[in-house]
Amino acid sequence: MKITYQGSKNLNVQYIWYVQDQAEKMIRYLNKKYGHEFDCRIKTKAGGRSWGGGKGISISDRYAADKFHIFREYKSIARDPVIGEFVGTSKECTLAVIAHEVAHWWHHNLKRHEHGPEWYRGPVRKDPAEKPHGPKWKSIYAELREKFLNKKL
Would you state the pLDDT for residue 107?
96
Q: Do 43 and 6 touch, CB atoms closer than 8 A?
A: yes
Cα–Cα dist 91/97, whole Å: 10
* 3-state secondary structure (DSSP) of residue 113: helix
In our burial notation (b when 16+ CB lie closer than 10 A, e otherwise), range 130-145 reads beebeebbbebbbbbb
76, burial (CB in 10 Å: exposed 0-12, middle 13-18, buried 19+): exposed
Would you state the pLDDT for residue 131?
87
Cα–Cα dist 145/153, whole Å: 10
Reading the chain (153 residues) residue by residue, the pLDDT tens digits are 899 999 888 898 999 999 999 999 999 999 999 999 999 999 999 999 999 999 999 999 999 888 999 999 999 999 999 999 999 999 999 999 999 999 999 999 999 998 888 877 778 777 888 888 999 999 999 999 999 999 887
Q: Do 42 and 19 touch, CB atoms closer than 8 A?
A: yes
